[in-house]
């Protein structure tokens, strides 16, 4: 199992034959190394509707005949564009045959904003995904603050890797993310949603050093870097 960090909150996971991308934001992402046309996947998972998590969902879906998985409202929005979608809701699990993905809650907002028409379209509840694949459990928290039910998520799932935002301002910052890692009982943590733009610059290496003090392995990946996932 291989994970690629594409910058911001976008990760891609592959077992060599099948691949999934979460929150594809490559176009307009100043730190991304890959382009949308480089991505080959079967499924696209979206945690919420904001552009910095969905910018390349349509292009990647069309190029790969891939299926978009998201909350019911957001999936419906993409289905109206003629794309293959699976619309689900908080607490539900989708079985992809080779992996299972459970949609769990997050505390954030979710909308599709058009500056041209000055309109905002509701995109359903924000969420995160707990994915089980080849015996490895990975939790992508999406954009979220710290919330108490992370303890429940950690109790219900044996989390090998937690992908947590640390940027602050729009999401939780490093201090809260450190608490989240402990509540989740995560064995390994990958910090995301930081340093893409001036307002969310963080020292991910300092964060992973703090994790190590708590007995948790951290991986301060740079955009384009890869990580081999092991149980």
Domain borders along the chain are: 2-228
Residue 150: the pLDDT is 98
pLDDT digits (tens, 9 = 90+) for 31-41: 999 999 999 99
Residue of 94, 97, 98 lying closest to 129 (CA atoms): 94
Distance from the Cα of residue 67 to its chain's centroid: 16
- The CA distance from 171 to 173, in Å, is 6
Question: Is 57:27 a contact under the CB 8 Å cutoff?
Answer: no
With 0-12 / 13-18 / 19 or more C-beta atoms within 10 angstroms meaning exposed / middle / buried, residue 100 is middle
- Beta-ladder partners of 162: 139, 189
Residue 11: the pLDDT is 98
- Of the candidate CATH numbers 3.20.20.70, 3.30.420.40, 1.10.3720.10, 3.60.15.10, the domain formed by 2-228 belongs to 3.60.15.10
Residue 126: the pLDDT is 98
Segments of the chain with pLDDT less than 70: none
Residue 138: the pLDDT is 98
Q: What is the pTM of this model?
A: 0.98
Residue 49: the pLDDT is 98
């Amino acid at each position: 199992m291989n994970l690629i960090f594409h910058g911001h909150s976008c990760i891609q996971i592959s077992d060599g034959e099948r691949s999934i991308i979460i929150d594809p934001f490559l176009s307009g992402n100043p730190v991304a190394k890959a382009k949308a046309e480089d991505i080959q996947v079967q499924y696209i998972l979206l945690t919420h509707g904001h552009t910095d998590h969905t910018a390349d969902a349509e292009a990647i879906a069309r190029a790969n005949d891939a299926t978009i998985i998201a909350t019911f409202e957001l999936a419906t929005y993409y289905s109206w564009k003629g794309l293959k979608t699976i619309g689900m809701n908080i607490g539900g699990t989708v079985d992809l045959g080779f992996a299972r993905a459970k949609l769990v809650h997050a505390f954030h907002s979710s909308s599709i904003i058009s500056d041209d028409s000055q309109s905002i379209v509701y995109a359903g509840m924000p969420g995160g995904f707990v994915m089980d694949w080849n015996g490895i459990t990975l939790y992508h928290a999406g954009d979220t603050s710290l919330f108490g039910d992370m303890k429940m998520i950690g109790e219900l799932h044996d989390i090998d890797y937690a992908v947590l935002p640390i940027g602050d301002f729009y999401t939780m910052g490093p201090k809260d993310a450190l608490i989240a890692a402990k509540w989740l009982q995560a064995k390994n943590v990958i910090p995301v949603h930081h340093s893409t733009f001036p307002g969310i610059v963080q020292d991910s290496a300092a964060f992973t050093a703090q994790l190590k003090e708590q007995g948790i392995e951290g991986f301060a990946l740079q955009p384009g870097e890869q990580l081999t996932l092991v149980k």
